[in-house]
Chains A and B, each alone.
Chain A
Amino acid sequence: MSLLVVESAGLLTTVQDFGREGFGVLGVSASGAADAVALRIGNLLLENAAGTPALEMTLTGGTFLFPDGAVICLAGANFGAQVDGKALELWRPHAMLPGKRVVLGATRDFARCYLCVAGGIGVAEFLGSASTHLLSGLGGWEGRGLRKGDALPVGKLEKNIRRRKLRAGVLEELMPRKTLRVTRGPQFDWFAGEAQRTLISGGFVVSEESNRMGLRLEGPRLASRGNAEMISEGAPLGAIQVTPSGQAITLFVEQQTTGGYPKIANVIGADLHCVGQLRPRDTIRFEEVSLEAARALWIEQQRLLGSAERLFA
């Protein structure tokens, strides 16, 4: 067994895979990678299964030593990764010889960078997933963010790695957007026409108080029509709920599974990975699309991500 040793952890680094969907009855949200597209491509470049557990770093990365060597691939945001003082290219497999360390810094573009390892990261599964659920301290590596000194089992260094490369244009097509496409939420009609228009015309700033549970959005207040009391109900991933004070909150991967605030809109499936790449202080906009259009975009994205011919040169 090879190891990955955490020499410094960065701001928040957790083990994530595609999450544990399907346990809403137990009150358990899916969790999983905030940018599932980056995780998938990073893994596929290493010829791992798409949902193999990887490290998810947030805004600032750490330093990771490979005493036994490993083959790794970085995917997602550019955290200025270096090995021996030389830049390590994103979206490419790299052989880390025994004793080498990868040093990551502050982000230069988006919020999250994934460190994928050929053969994966070995942590015990909870409800069928290796993903960390921070709120309850379950899953992942001891249910928490990584700390200095942690040593995680990882896949072995293989001598003959295939140098899989992404096709030109793939990254552009999947580039995280700052204009998120939404469909109408189940309580869209509860909001005054003014609020419905403001959601689309106004700009919103991602608050510092945002995390894997949800993103608070600062911007124009979204007033509802009356003071109707809502009965708590299940809330989908990407729901944009509005508090009584008119603040919008987007529920994210470690979301509460139910909620009592009216939901004005919902980020479409094809744009959820973009939410995971938003940084505090980013300005975003919303664009309304129909359910049919959203579904067509999702199907097209799934086809692209499922096709080795279309992804790799």
Chain B
Amino acid sequence: MRFQAASDQALLVYLGEEIGAAAHECVVRLLRLLQQEPITWIRNIQPAYCSLLITFDAVAVDHAEVQAKITEYEKRAEKMPAGKARLVEVPVCYGGEFGPDLDDVAAKRGLQAEKVVELHIAQTYHAYFLGFAPGFAYLGDLAEEIAMPRLESPRKEVAAGSVGIAGRQTAVYPFTTPGGWRLIGRTPLEMFRKDREPMGMIAIGDQVKFRPITRAEFLAMRRA
């Protein structure tokens, strides 16, 4: 474990130095313990691949005190049960108007579009964390054969439900927002709803599978 001041009110806690299941498991365990036994001066916890960003009440404590308390928690977090991962299935209509970058990804990686889809659905993804926008889950690891960098210039508008890829990650855009990931399909599901519990379809630590559906199925599910 390594600590780094991020601001006068925030401390980064690094639990590993590379993306993968090992570091992320430590992140989730420490997060679960902090959720189970909340500390009053913690204002926010932002998990990521290998780290937790702890924002704290700087009137109450300083970095050294936060560090000491987190060190104590981390020792106990090792004994936390990992918990069973939920499996979330996301239906996706690939290509066409819903996946405007599918053919381009295929061409750039020297594959048929069908092969790109096949590789995308073959994997069971791990939800590393949520960021960017409410309910936007960073899912990994995407097959190396279809990994592509982000678009040179992001789109001003990406439709809600769009499924994008960037590097070794994939994600579903919960809202119509700007976005720079390459779009290969779209889901009819509402990924985040404020009138639902839980609000987000995918939570940190979940397992996620994509299932191909036809345009007709997409429209039918949308209407439902």
B8 x A298 contact (CB < 8 A):
yes
How many angstroms from the CA of A234 to the CA of B50 in the assembled complex?
10
Inter-chain contacts of B4 with A (CB < 8 A):
186
Per-position contact with B for A120-137: 1 when CB-CB < 8 Å, else 0? 000000110000010111
B53 x A24 contact (CB < 8 A):
yes
B9 at the interface (CB under 8 A from A): yes
A238 at the interface (CB under 8 A from B): yes
B8 x A294 contact (CB < 8 A):
yes
A24 x B63 contact (CB < 8 A):
no
Binds A, one of B54-62, B101-109, B206-214: B54-62
Which of B7, B48, B49 is in CB contact (< 8 Å) with A269?
B7
Binds A, one of B73-81, B92-100, B117-125, B129-137: B129-137
Counting chain B residues whose Cβ lies within 8 A of the other chain, the interface size class is 35 or more
A136 x B192 contact (CB < 8 A):
yes
Inter-chain contacts of B10 with A (CB < 8 A):
234, 236, 266
Q: Nearest-CB distance from A215 to chain B (Å)?
A: 16
B63 x A256 contact (CB < 8 A):
no
For the A-B complex, the count of residue pairs with Cβ-Cβ distances under 8 Å equals: 145
A136 x B55 contact (CB < 8 A):
no
Which of A23, A234, A268 is in CB contact (< 8 Å) with B8?
A268
B51 x A233 contact (CB < 8 A):
yes
Q: Nearest-CB distance from B221 to chain A (Å)?
A: 22
Which of A186, A268, A292 is in CB contact (< 8 Å) with B6?
A186
B7 x A239 contact (CB < 8 A):
yes
Which of A258, A266, A268, A302 is in CB contact (< 8 Å) with B129?
A258
Q: Which residue of chain B is the closest to A263 with respect to CB atoms?
A: B6
B146 at the interface (CB under 8 A from A): no
A183 at the interface (CB under 8 A from B): yes
Counting chain A residues whose Cβ lies within 8 A of the other chain, the interface size class is 35 or more
B175 x A136 contact (CB < 8 A):
yes
Tell me whether A266 and B18 are in contact in the complex, defined as CB-CB below 8 angstroms, given that A138-B194, A234-B53 are known contacts: no
Inter-chain contacts of A183 with B (CB < 8 A):
5, 7-8
Which of A27, A137, A295 is in CB contact (< 8 Å) with B130?
A27
Q: Which residue of chain B is the closest to A181 with respect to CB atoms?
A: B8
Per-position contact with B for A246-265: 1 when CB-CB < 8 Å, else 0? 00000000001110000100
Most chain B beta-carbon neighbours within 10 Å: one of A23, A127, A133, A299: A23
A239 x B6 contact (CB < 8 A):
yes
A27 x B194 contact (CB < 8 A):
no
Q: Which residue of chain B is the closest to A28 with respect to CB atoms?
A: B134
- Chain B residues packing against A (C-beta within 8 Å): 4-10, 12, 17-19, 31, 35, 43-53, 55, 58-59, 62-63, 129-138, 174-175, 177, 192, 194, 199-200, 203-204
- Chain A residues packing against B (C-beta within 8 Å): 21-28, 30, 126-127, 133, 135-138, 183-186, 231-239, 256-258, 263, 266-269, 291-292, 294-295, 298-299, 302
23 A-B residue pairs with Cβ-Cβ distance under 8 Å, sorted by A, are A22-B45, A24-B45, A24-B47, A24-B53, A26-B134, A26-B199, A27-B132, A27-B137, A30-B44, A127-B194, A231-B51, A233-B50, A234-B47, A236-B6, A238-B7, A239-B7, A257-B130, A258-B129, A291-B5, A291-B62, A298-B8, A298-B59, A302-B59
